[in-house]
Amino acid sequence: MVAPVVRPVVRSARPADLPRLREVEVAAGALFRAVGMDPVADDDPPSLQELAAARERGLLLVAVPGEEGATRGG
């Protein structure tokens, strides 16, 4: 049996997304260590306050599974 394809939905970030966005920033930065770019990997992620300000200006988007995006408004 083949699992159904769940297409992501892009929506505006919510306050509850901000801590996870910091985690994503750290994980993405860590990839640079593998190519010798340690200073990039060592950069601190944006603070929750910085992310909140960007969110309030409508600058943060997140991709979520289609069901989540469909059942919770943006």
Token pair of 18, please? 């901000």
pLDDT value at position 67?
Answer: 66
37-66 residue pLDDT tens: 999 999 999 999 999 999 999 999 999 988
Choose between 5 and 60: higher pLDDT. 60
Q: What is the pTM of this model?
A: 0.74
